[in-house]
Every structure is written in C-alpha cells, then in structure tokens.
Amino acid sequence: MSRSEPVEASNFIRNIVEKDVAAGKNDGQVVTRFPPEPNGYLHIGHAKSICLNFGTAGRYDGRCNLRFDDTNPARESEEYVEAIKDDVSWLGFEWSELRHASDYFDELYEFARELIRQDKAYVDSSTAEEVREMRGSLTEPGTPSPYRNRSVEENLDLFQRMKEGEFDDGEHILRAKIDMASGNINMRDPTLYRIRKVHHVRTGDKWSIYPMYDYTHCVSDAIEGITHSLCTLEFEDHRPLYDWVLDELKTPCHPQQIEFARLSLEYTMLSKRRIIQLVEDGHVHGWDDPRMPTIIGMRRRGYTPASLRDFCERIGITKNDAWIEMAVLETCIRDQLNKEAPRRMAVLDPIKVTITDLPEDHEQIFSFANHPQDDSAGTREVPFTREVFIDRDDFAEVPPPKYQRLVPGGEVRLRGSYVIKCEEIIKDDDGQVLELRCTHDPDTLGKKPEGRKVKGVIHWVSATHGIPAEVRLYNPLFTLPDPTKADSLAEAINPESEVVLSSCVVEPALQQASAEQHFQFERIGYFVADRRDHSAEKPVFNRTVTLRDTWAK
RNA sequence: UGGGCCGUCGCCAAGCGGUUAAGGCACCGGGUUUUGAUCCCGGCAUUCGGAGGUUCGAAUCCUCCCGGCCCAGCCA
C-alpha cells in the first residue's frame, strides 16, 4: 500500500467485531442495538452511539435494534419515544426491530424467580438509607444485610407479593447476592427490582415492581440475540455484573459488552440533565432551538443527516476522554453544503446604493448559476436595477488594512454585474451612512475593467425587487469550551448566541424557498429556511454556519 | 494500602516487536478564482506522559513513577 493512499481508520470495536466475524463467533453474525431511555431528546452524543451501533451492524450485514430502555416509568414519556424514532430515522438508519425493555417484563420476572431459587437473590426489607450505609464506601467493604439469609421460600413469597402490589414503594427491594466486600461497588448485592406504584405507558398498572437497568439490560440483550453490546465508558465497572447475571441465568447467548468514550464537544453541554435545564430555565426556546446540541435542534439549525454521520466517522471511537473542537463539526456541514447548496444573494444589514448614471427605470435580468462548480444545478434569474442594497460592512469610510470592498472614491465589483465606483456618501444627522451614490462602468459586465485591477467583489440585492426576510444568526451557546466549569449555567450562556436580524433583504428567487431548504448566501454562510417559522409571506432563514473566513476580522 | 479505565503533533486518531510514526481538523505558505468561499500544490511529531528494563531491534513487551477520567441511585 502506498503511503499516499488514504487508509480507512479502524477503531478498536471494529477490530474486535472483525475478528469475531472472521473466527465465526456467533455464527459470524453481528447484532447490535441502540438502547435509549425515553426520558429526553437525543443529542449529538447519541448520534455517535447510533452511528456506531447501526454502522457496525451495517458493515457486517448484521442487524441493529432500536430498544427503549423503559424501566423507570416515573420519568419516561411517549413524547420522547416518538421524537427518538424520528431522530434515528432522520439520521438515515433503519432499525431491524423496535423493542422495549418492557416487552420482557414477564421473562425478567421469571428469571428473577430463578435467581431466588438458586439462592442468588433475596428480598431486602431495609430502608434505602440502611442499604446505603451497609454498602460501605469506596475504601471500606460493605456489611451484609440482616435479610441476606432469608429462605428461598420466603423470598419467593415476598417477591410475588411485591409484584402483586401488597407493599408500598421502598418497603422491599430484590437484591442479587454477590459480594458485599467486592472492590467493585456494583457487585455489593446490587438492586434488581424496586417497588414503584407508577403507571407505565406500555404495561399500564400491571406491575408494581420495575427491574433496574443492570439487571434488565443484559437480559434484554441476551433475549434479542445481541452479539456486541456497545455502551459508554461509565458502564465499564458494570460489566462484571452484566456478565454475572447472564452466567447465573445460563441464557442461551451471552453478548459481549464493549465500552467506548462518550462525546465531548467544545462549547457544548451533552448531559441530559443539563440539556433539560437549558429548556426549563428558558435559556433557549425549546428542545429544537437551533443552538441546542439535540438532533432536532441541529436539524433546525441546518445540519444534515450526512454531515452528522460524517462527523461521527471523523471523530472516531476510542476509550480516550477526547474533546472535539467545533471546527470539526463545522467542516462536516460546510463540506456537504458547499457541494449541494444552491447559491443566493442576501443582504443582512442593508445600505442603499444608487447608481446615478443609470436611468430611473433601468432593469436588467441576469442569469446566475446556482452553483459555481456544478452546471447541473441550473440557473436562476436575478434582476438588476438602479437602486440596490449592499451589506453595511462591505463599505468603509476609513478602511482597515487590506480591505477589499467599497471605499469612498473606490471601485468594487457587484457580483455578476458591473464594477461600480463610490462617488458620494449620504449620511443622517448622527453620521450614519444612509445611502451611497455610485456610478458604474458599463464595459465591465462579464469583463475585466480596462487598465486597472478591481479586486473586491460584493453581493447585492435589487432594492425594487428584493424581498424582506428575517435572518437568525447563531453563535456558540456557551462562552467556555467546557461550560460545566462555569459557576452557573446562566453564567456560561453566550448572550450573543442568537442574533435576530429582521430587516434583511434577499434576492427574489428566495421567494420560492421551502422550509428546510439549504442555501449558501454568497460571501456570508450557509443558511436554512426555518422548519417552523419560515413561509413565503414571511421568510425566515437560520444561519447554519459561516463560510470559512481567512481574512482577519 | 478500594475497584475499573485512559495517556501518540494545537484538537481528533491509525499503529498491535522491524514503517522515513497513516489520515482528518486546525494552522502556515503558494497557485487558480467575478464568493477574502471552493479547488489545487507544499509545509507541519528523529518522536509516542516520564524513567528504567527485555530485545539485534520497542509507540508497540515488562517494572516503577507522573497525569487524567469513572464508581458509594430503590437513575440509566
């Protein structure tokens, strides 16, 4: 292999799966699952897991299930399961089967009775407080519960009565009987079932006991024939328990749990708890606020499924606690939109330019390519008139060094049109520029000007044909690369994270824009018609990302 | 003197005893360009957290040390 050929980066999970497939383990099958708890909206960190699970299965012609880990009815809701399904589909993945942990409640209950019969589980009637005290600490072993040696018969009886609702929340729990002195606290007789007299969306009031994650997850994996159970690093020391349950239960298959590092993204918070807080405290407008790291928020911001998948591929899968720079994400969306987004002109902060040597009723229709490198994207018509708008920062009375735009007495190219020269500045009483009066060189349409160089090119919109629009600019939601380092959430919020511009003018072709359509506003950035607020009557565009800008601002 | 895990370029990340230590992002040049965009070309780790050791040969094996992350829910 020559060194110049790009090599597809592997990752340790791919290597393990590859080896297993080659060795014929699990009959060469690969079965994974994406197992969210339906207690919130998915975010970019989940996208990493989704791409890993669906991607790994897809790579080896395997299957990937979508499984809702709905074992805690107190905090889960149907709204979230629907949202999660939408997000996974939108990302471009199809689950092999849609399952719920609650589908297995009966089996789970029977397996638990089996553990009791084997004297591997017991009903503990201690209070939550007592259980915590008896668990010991990180450095001290725990002490056995006084209920640890209840007879199998008594445990079976109590467990059944727990199930039948005879007891109140907290009166008893079912615990695994493992090792109260284990260095791994998860092995100090972990809770398997707790009493929760809560209505469950799918099982209704059938159950008054609900199984815990550690017990449910491994059994669910085994029931579904999962071969590789991929989860994040914090579950590493749960793996001995995962294996213990499956070994004791002698399930027909024993999936391999493999852990990888969760995503950390600069200027972003990716913990469900904090994301909920952003919404509840009103720091953002909702779960789908374009500044949110949620899939639905990023979608509204203008990120595409392909760009998110590309991102997940680029960041890799390891066990390192890595912090990804925003630039990686931005590159992914720019890469895709550069190839696909039609170009348009939009003026965000308009100043009127009158081309004085053109007649009042001058009107010319230009045909502009929708894409400079892709003829198949076609063309659109752009009207040119005596009065146009340009962006305020494309004119400078006192230009900074290397400024290539319009200055008093200077020339600039109106993109796709003529070279104009600024002859006169009209200001209001406060010194604010109201209008620029310019002349044009009629011999510069599609031609370089004679005898001089005009370096700058600026975008514009006909003042008579342009249409008003609202444009929302988005910046990082937080001012700190790691916002959790701030004293409070409020303190970490970037006050400039959302800037709403309500008097923008965009070219007429944008009148046809439909919600969720992507564009490049030339020289500015990539924008998307807002999926909620945009309409032909009141166009609203969100800035997805700026264009790369190598000019020191 | 609890247990588990991680340290390869500014940020990611390949590498699995013999390579001039991949690639991407970022950055720095230079060229093309009616988007300061795109595109193209070039540069960017004598060194793999540190110190010892094993070996003809170590980022890869061993030992110790240093730094970082996770765990004491009847959450997931």
Which three-class secondary structure string do you get for A81-150? Answer: HHHHHHHHHHCCCCCCCEEEHHHHHHHHHHHHHHHHHCCCEEEECCCHHHHHHHCCCCCCCCCCCCCCCC
Find the nucleotide nearest A339 (Cα to C1′). Answer: B38
* Whole-number pLDDT of residue A230: 98
SS3 A538: coil
C-alpha span between A395 and A392 (Å, rounded):
6
Instruction: From residues 403-442 of A, list those within 7 angstroms of strand B by Cβ.
Output: 403-405, 413, 415-417
Q: Which amino acid is at A3?
A: R
Distance of A131 CA from B10 C1′ (whole Å):
48
Burial class (CB in 10 A: 0-12, 13-18, 19+), A115: buried
Length of chain A: 553
Nearest to A414 by CA among A348, A347, A493, A486: A347
Taking a C-beta distance cutoff of 8 angstroms, is the pair A546, A524 a contact? yes
Q: Helix %, strand %, coil % for chain A, to 5? A: 30, 25, 40
* Whole-number pLDDT of residue A2: 31
Nearest to A310 by CA among A280, A276, A271, A340: A340
C-alpha span between A545 and A475 (Å, rounded):
9
Find the nucleotide nearest A139 (Cα to C1′). Answer: B2
Find the nucleotide nearest A132 (Cα to C1′). Answer: B72
* Whole-number pLDDT of residue A5: 41
Predicted confidence pLDDT, tens digits, chain A (553 residues)? 233 344 466 899 999 999 999 999 999 999 999 999 999 999 999 999 999 999 999 999 999 999 999 999 999 999 999 999 999 999 999 999 999 999 999 999 999 999 999 999 999 999 999 999 999 999 999 999 999 999 999 999 999 999 999 999 999 999 999 999 999 999 999 999 999 999 999 999 999 999 999 999 999 999 999 999 999 999 999 999 999 999 999 998 999 999 999 999 999 999 999 999 999 999 999 999 999 999 999 999 999 999 999 999 999 999 999 999 999 999 999 999 999 999 999 999 999 999 999 999 999 999 999 999 999 999 999 999 999 999 999 999 999 999 999 999 999 999 999 999 999 999 999 999 999 999 999 999 999 999 899 999 999 999 999 999 999 999 999 999 999 999 888 999 999 999 999 999 999 999 999 999 999 999 999 999 999 999 999 999 999 999 999 986 5
Give the contacts of A535 (CB within 8 A, at least 6 positions apart). Answer: none
Question: DSSP letter at A266?
Answer: T
Q: Is ipTM beyond 0.90?
A: yes
Residue A455 bears catalytic tag: no
**CA quadruple A170, A172, A178, A179: dihedral positive or negative?**
positive
Residue nearest to nucleotide B25 (CA to C1'): A328
Please provide residue A399's backbone torsions phi and psi, each rounded to the nearest 5 degrees.
-70, 140
Distance of A213 CA from B61 C1′ (whole Å):
39
Residue A206 bears catalytic tag: no
Q: Model-level pTM?
A: 0.96
Which of the residues A272, A392, A437, A523 is marked catalytic?
A272
Residue A272 bears catalytic tag: yes
Q: What is each CA distance from A431 to A395, A438, A475, A503, A504, in whole angstroms?
A: 14, 19, 30, 20, 21
The span from the first CA to the last CA of chain A, in angstroms, equals 43
